[in-house]
Structure 1
Amino acid sequence: MIEVSEEENDDGIAKDTEALTLLDNPSTRENIINNLLELEAFFKMRMLEMTNESDLLSLSQIQHAPSIIQLQTFETITVLSEKVNKALNNLTNKRTQHLHNLKHSLNYIDILTSNLNQKLSQVDRFKNCKITLENKIVETHREIKKIEKMVELLIMKTKELQKNIQDDISVKYKGRKVNIVGGITVI
């Protein structure tokens, strides 16, 4: 007679790591990746052995291998190696690692949250800097307008002064016409 204790009574519902899919479960995922890495190394060694067929030791080892391995050609091993590489790359690429870490690591989420908060605070600082710079631009345009009016007034006064100087010099030379060249006449 089989007795079921209360601890073993789980109503057939998977819990904890048992409830995860193969690739979501960290230990099975790690085992799959390790097996793919081992398979990748095997294929590389086998391709190397096939290119160096003069190696008697490798030939004797292959003779004792199962027939499925003995019948493989360099091309089929290359295709299999490429498929293993593709599967390995899909399991270990940055995006997949990121998603896996999001699901299984609270520290990773805390780090991402902290980075995001830092970037948001930088955005706020840049917005404030932008507003400050826009205000300075507006103030600078006002100052430019004031200075342009002052420069126009100075040019007008300087031209009057130049005319008066020309007239004074003309009187000293018995009414001869005098022209001062350069300076304000260029503006």
Structure 2
Amino acid sequence: MKIPKQTLWKELNMSVKVGSSKGWVALSNLNDLKLHLTNVFNPFASSSRKVLISLPPVEKIYRGSIARVWNVAFSASPDEEDCVVAAKLNAPFISLCRPGDSEWTYIETPMSFFTSVVMYSKRDRRFYLLSSNISGTDLIKTCSDFPPVSLYQRFPFSDIPKSTKDLIQSCVLRNQYLVEAPSGESFIVFW
């Protein structure tokens, strides 16, 4: 990738994008498993305010392998004091960390949320996990230092005509995103 008049940090070599929010991109380094947050791709950030924030390695072992970051969400912009980063792993775990922390806090999630996505609701001040297999569990046990984590309970097809539901269900490769409008309304976007 070429960005005119811009040099990327060497920490971003061998990294893959695992999420973006609030003008920031989260990249997971394939070599050292560190998560890096940067606003270097944000066209509205001035050149002098381009930042790279490195978080500790995500090193959770699950069934004999290192679990990888599936996606991330931020409770606030990473350069703000109250930012918490939630990383959903490709395992039944979510990890929470603040920029500046020396390690991640790992929280077990129900198995039905193995490959779910995580989002932060500013209105509810909590992280949500979304899965195509909606479970009856509500709150996942977290420590008091972090925002609560809940399983998103609203049934995503409630107001959709049956023919559209069938079409969405038939798509083998579909991505679901839980997004929040500035008004605070939550939407599930299927791509």
Calculate the TM-score normalised by the size of structure 1.
Answer: 0.16
Task: Work out which of the two has the higher radius of gyration on C-alpha atoms and give 1 or 2.
Answer: 1
> Which one has the bigger strand percentage?
2
> Which one has the bigger helix percentage?
1
Calculate the TM-score normalised by the size of structure 2.
Answer: 0.15
